[in-house]
Structure 1
Amino acid sequence: MIATSVRKDAPHTIPDMAVVPRSVAIAATDGMLHFELALAYEVFGSPPDAVPGPWYDVKVCGRRSVRVGRFLLEPDGDLADLARAGTVIVPALADVDADPPADLVAAVGVAHRAGARVVSLCTGVFVLAAAGLLDGLRATTHWAHTGQLAARHPRVTVDPDVLYVDNGEVLTSAGKAAAMDLCLHLVRRDHGAAVANIVARRLVVPPHRAGGQAQFVTTPVPVRDDHPLADLIPWVMRQLDQPLTVADLARQANLSARHLTRQFHAVTGTTPLQWLLTQRIRRAQEMLETTDDSVDAIAAAAGMGTATTLRRHFQRSVGVPPDTYRRTFRL
């Protein structure tokens, strides 16, 4: 929602806070992977401190007793309860060679027709595809299974290179860490960037990775804290109000522009200028949520120069003008 690199097939609009889908139903069936299920429950089921307004009401829905990984789970409700939820989360399935459970596919389809926002994490996408929810849409899953998804569901446009895809009311993610990215993206859609950042800090994870970021990069992310961008990124964050170019960043990092670009792809999955624009939009969002500064002042503080420039990039990235965003998410 924040970064221009998030590619979507339907324009995102900020919801009326009175009708944000507060009720979240996490579907559970035998053979699901416990990581994605537990991750969703942790994000949506644990209200963070100092967050104004109501949080989500979460239920795990499935048969009377469900085996998830090595654990036996007693759900809060049955699959019919999915149709009464505002958001339905379908965690990953361990066995993607077999058809997903027919009762789960049917229940997810009913929930979608009843108006639920339906979200798959990793290989949970096979349930959404079987229910026909992804026909004619872009979708993703773990890169190891994108070929199988495309072969089994040719009406789905499978994108193997992104962390998640937001189609508005149907969303899909890649595997493991990307499932967390998508869950935080939903919190950001519903509650704003400042609240999503609070949740991310509690979970000790990055507050935002763009959906369009690559799942897999051939150059590994450096595991040490002395890689060439370790000092540059904090420096840039302190200089966001300044007009920065790739040449400025390369000079500060003591790298050539070409080498800097390669390093940015390795560390962030995007280009220096795309990453910089993302940070500027994030700065503007946080200031809109937490200050009374004018749009002109926010544009200057975020390095956008003028309110006109900020409005153009903000509308393109977030989907609404800055003033509308402020009215929706003002803390």
Structure 2
Amino acid sequence: MKLRIRNFLSVNIIVFLLLISACRQNSLIQLEGRTMGTVYHIKLIDDVNASISEKELQSAVDSLLNDINRQMSTYQPQSEISRFNRWRSTEPFKVSPEFLRVVQKALKIYRETNGAFDITVGPLVDLWGFGRKGARFEPPDSQQIARILQRVGAHQLKVCGDTALCKLNPDLEIDLGAIAKGYGVDAVSRLLKENGFTNFMVEIGGEVYASGKKGDRPWRIGVDQPQYNAPPGQMVEAVLNLENCAVATSGDYRNFFEYRGKIYSHELDPHTGWPVANGLASVTVIAPDCMTADALATAIMVMGDERGLPLINSKKGTEALILKREGEKGLKALWSKGMKNYLLQGN
């Protein structure tokens, strides 16, 4: 039996927006749209200090996210990243400051995680059928994987000065899919703050930043139970209280295929070229910014709990909830030192 499940929205976090009573001066504003192959949602408390109308804000958000897509989408042939990937040279390639900032963060996390987070895995993702080149229903052979691995490794990518990137291997390609949504969340959050909003929640494809409060309490974010085939929001493992921080989840249960009774997830180990097999079902990371949370959630999925939790515990303002598979349907929850402080009572 061959089963294929693909969900490009990858909504691993379901945002719980419980009704609050409105006061005379404040009300809830909701904006939404499409970006990065998924959807975004913004919930914000109307603020007397805001310097922009709702219509102007919607236009500004869409314009900002369109710019990010033109920089970082591998699905747009003329985006910065697509042109960089076609650049078969070791000479410097000039990029925008925003693009450079995301790559610099990715390289930092690559070093911190000993290569578990690697933005050069795009060709592997395509080979396994989880990328632009369409789905597949059985694993590639070992020789194919070995050939692709020669083009994988972020140590072959360098920042050249303040404006350019250099490939040490001219065949190197990058994919920012595991960090770009987090960057988008951070960029929209900065836009809101610059325009006078202090209490809001921004979500892009399940990655979230929560600023201030929703009424008289923190924003509440639900974390899905990682069950294969379960629709987003149907089974919730935990509810988090968030205030002035970001959260992102990575898991094996949204994008996968089954071959001869075995599940093959889109979570690939850059060192081996194969889907991870460490038992982790999902990793939810809380961090000061969403770009960090997004990348670390992916990295910990690859690293596993024994290496991942010590890394999280070493980082200030960063926490993690790891759900590990036990048996056919069982789940074991593992927490970083301060994660329980974010859990809603009763969870």
TM-score normalised to structure 2 length: 0.28
Higher relative contact order (CA 8 A, sep 6+): 2
Structure with the higher fraction of residues in helix conformation: 1
Structure with the higher fraction of residues in strand conformation: 2
